[in-house]
Amino acid sequence: MSASSTSLAEAGADVRGMFNRVAGRYDAANRVMSMGIDVIWRKKAISRLLAGLGETPRLLDLGAGTLDGALEIARRAPGARIAAADFAAEMLRAGRKKLHGAAVDTHAADGHDLPYRDAAFDGAFSAFCVRNLRDLPRGIRELRRVVRPGGRVVILEFLRPERPRFFFDRVYNARVLPLLGWAVTGDRAAYRYLPDSIARFRSAPEMEALLREVGFPDVSAQPLFPSGVATMLVAE
């Protein structure tokens, strides 16, 4: 698959509607399907995001969903000013119930046209979001625009594997995961979308190349345990 290939989101899948439908059971489904490993991945990525940014960084969580990432940032950096943006209003509504006074500003915003000034943030975090952008290059350019020169973007994502992974791709993702998602949320289509969208998305080298093309000169990709199921991309 080339970097110009079309993902499911770019092909017109109703991603916003899908996330709004499952918002109320989204957290429960994530914990069941990942066996809690997604929490470990998110903590690792946020540690990388915060390194060297000081005690009061301005940070964006793009595709913030039910605010797990934004809340972890607030726990790690109590002095941070955090904007949590997502185009699925029901996801944000579900997440606000968990804030309990945490200093997180939530914004119903589209990642293709962010409502922030240029260089507004010292860093940006995005977990399992960019795969769902209908125009990936445009969304990545927006991230580049709103992060100041010298800042950092950390993306946590399921990327298309370069080599087949029999268990994860053909057994767990293809068969087990949709059944688990259906059992928890009652929405089988949403959890059929997940493995299909991974198979149609970019690989790690393709994502690295795209990040460099839009203006991030220093980009790295780190596969995360187990077996590189998720990847952490760091763009400086």
- First and final CA of the chain: distance in angstroms? 26
Q: What dotted CATH number matches 15-235? A: 3.40.50.150
Q: How far apart are CA 2 and CA 97, in angstroms?
A: 41
Contact 71, 94 (CB under 8 A): no
The distance of Cα 74 from the centroid of its chain, to the nearest Å, equals: 17
User: pLDDT tens-digit profile of 53-86?
Assistant: 999 999 999 999 999 999 999 999 999 999 999 9
Mean pLDDT value across residues 171-176:
67
Residues 6+ apart with CB under 8 A from 223: 204, 230, 231
What are the pLDDT digits (tens) for 121-148?
A: 999 999 999 999 999 999 999 999 999 9
User: Is residue 7 within 8 Å of residue 136, measured between CB atoms?
Assistant: yes
Q: Does pTM surpass 0.85? A: yes
Specify the pLDDT at position 2: 44
Tell me the pLDDT tens digit for each residue of 9-55: 998 889 999 999 999 998 988 888 788 899 999 999 999 999 999 99
CA max distance for the chain? 45
Residues 202, 192: Cα–Cα separation, whole Å: 18
